[in-house]
Every structure is written in C-alpha cells, then in structure tokens.
Structure 1
C-alpha cells in the first residue's frame, strides 16, 4: 500500500502588522479542519502581511508565534508550515518554520529577498536549504520569490515535495501559475504553492491561485477564494513515475557558490 500525505492549504486574507489578530484568525481556521491531515500550510508572513517595516512588530512576536505553531501542531497532530517576520541578534529574517506535532522545529530563511520591494535592504537573506523528513516524505520548503530561481529548487536530493509559501501579487499571478507547474515537472516532485488573497495596506492585491501539482505537472488542487484546500499526495505516484521516466537521472551536475 502506498504511503500518503494529506495537506491542507489555508488561503486567507491577512491583517496588516497584527500578529495576535492573525494568530486568532488562523487558529479558528485550523480548528475548522475536520479531516485528518498531516501538514497544514499557511502563507508567507502570515502574522503580518508582506511588511517592509518589521520594526513595527514587537520583537517577542516571533517566539510567541512559534509557540503558537507548536500548540496548533500538537492539537491537530499535524505539521504547521509558514513564514513570519523573525528578529534575532538585531537582524530581521523572513523565516519559514516547519513545526512538527512533537514540537520539533526546522527553519528556512528566504534566500531570494524581493529587491523590487526593498526586502533585501530590510531582511537578512539565508543561504541554506531545508530538507525535512516527515511521515515518510522528504519535503523542501521555500518562500515566494524563490520560485523564480529554478537552480535553488533543483532536486538533487530526490525530495518528494516542494512547498512555496507566498504573498504573490495579482498583476504577476500568471508567472506564479506557470512556475509552480514548471517546478513540479522539472523536479518530478509534488509542488505546493500557498498564496494569500485580498488587499494589503499598501494597496497590493492578491488573488490566491494556491495549488498543488503532481510530479508530472498535473493540477490536483486549485483555488482563487478564501478557503482551505485539501490534497492527498501519494508516494507511489512519485516512485512509479521516476522509475518509468528516469528524467532526474539525466540532470546536470552543478555546485552552488
């Protein structure tokens, strides 16, 4: 029998620079999940929106949110994934947390900070990918603008699932749709993108398009409205297609510097 992983994608509006309000909102949404799920994915900067003024948030909010994620993960017996503004050693990070039901923590700091919005001037970029083994699947989580850079996502470790959390604006949503599908095809991995919807305090509009693609690039979940989207990933789908097609065996060797 194939191993399966059930994912819940929470596509939501965000309250601007209001961590407690966002935690309360997402807790209500998480509580509404009646299905047994393994992983719950939240958008990028889910406690604040895509703010370039992280100093407006109290420095304690990062730790509060991580503790909240641990509580939610334990309560639902599911991993919780999402990125937030996180302050550490007087630096700000757009840091993704993968929080397991037993309280275990994995982190990833966004490598490709979004220069168009000045993110590179405010947040410290990371340079290490995270690879997480969870319930029989190897997962690689990345953040928003990383989607435009295929070398950073290249599947050289034979991961099973690629996750992008995002605040991807409506004017460029066509690129989001196309690149998510491309990442799935070229890496022969399930690819998940969770975006927000609504309008932020800077007037930017977000149209969702959260989606899940299988290892051949076929869409298996998609939404443009505020809702929780479900998808079940099958390890057998990955293994059978990689065995049959063997595309990853022909990938180029390279080293990142």
Structure 2
C-alpha cells in the first residue's frame, strides 16, 4: 500500500540513476551475483515509475558527464528526480547548476557523494604509476580517462565547492536535496565491508574522521541539503546483502522528496 501511494506521488516524473566511478563495470557483473543499483531500478520499474540509468563513461571528467545528464533531462518533457551514487552525485549536482536545469527537476538524492573529495583519490594521484595504469585502463575500456579520478581529489573538489557555493545555496533553497552518508565503523560485516576496512582505518589515521572506506561522512553531506548518516561501507546504499536494504533506502529518500500533498 505504501509503495502504491509513493507511485502516485511520482506519477509523471522520471527517476534518473547516475552511477559512480566504474559503476557500469560493477553493474555488468550482475549475472555473477554482484548487484549495483539493479534492485533499485527493478523496484522502480515494478511501481510503474519511469526510471532509467543515464549512460555515462564513469571515469570521464565530472563536467563532461554533467553535460550528458543535462541532455538526458532535456530529452523528455517530464520533470526528473536525480539519484547519484558517489561520483555520479557530483555530476548530477554540476548538471543541476546549469541554466534552466533545476526547474526541470523535482529533487536530487546524493548517495555517498564526495562533495569535498576523497583522501583515497589523493593517495592514488600521488602514485603516478597507479594513476597511469588507471588512465590507460579507462581509455582502453572506453570508460573515460584519469581526469575523472583527479576530479575526486580533495583540492579539486574543495576549490569547485568554494567557486559554486552561492549557486549551491540557491539550489538547495529552491529544490529538495537529500544527501546520505555512511559510516563503516569497526571491523565486521560481510565481504563487501571487509574490502573497505583497511582504507577506512587509514582515513581515520589521516584525520578524515568517520567514513565508509572511500568517502568521509563530512565530505558526503552537502551544506543546505537534508542530511542523513547510515551505517555501512561505500556500496551499502546501492548493493544488496546482509544488513543492507538499497530499495528501503531509496524508498525512504523518495518519500522525503515527494511528500503527501
């Protein structure tokens, strides 16, 4: 019954999902049991909500992909709700700051998005052989270039946020925006969490504070937006597994953005 009510509230609206870095690669592993936003997309389709994944080469620069998201919004006269995970949230925000785009949107949900950058991206950029390997792998697989990774570093993100602070403040005042962060916490969880624990401990040691293994909580909470912190690793809000409910997370977020009249 609750889903039916939500479907009514979303009638006439498209939900556009924006993958994070390498999201198209992870989503392609669904046949071997690795879900990535697939359960959320299937749930939306089951509600009869018009939903699609915006086709992005996820290692491309943020500005380039912002243009692709804006084009996807303009391709249909119906208003959109943008749901961006990680880097996809940065690109969705940049798209919404383009002239006329916020007026075509009913809301923006950012899941674990590094608005102020990721110390892990800083670490990779300091190791030139690793950066070159990422750059060439991205180009060969047509996912973008190493410039997309550079756009995730703390200096780049913080400079961008400062430069666009007034525009972001105006956006969050005019449009419902919800930002969700995750805190991995102490050891535990399944293999998804285990992958991120070493990086989470390293970031804590660097003074980055609570984090999900890739993004500090403080980085993922956009000033002026509605904010929420949940437990889990960097994929906790977009993958199924023990203790994770990506559909429930999206359901509650959409209820907040599309309240009863």
User: Which TM-score applies when normalising by structure 1?
Assistant: 0.35
TM-score (norm 2): 0.35
More strand by share: 1
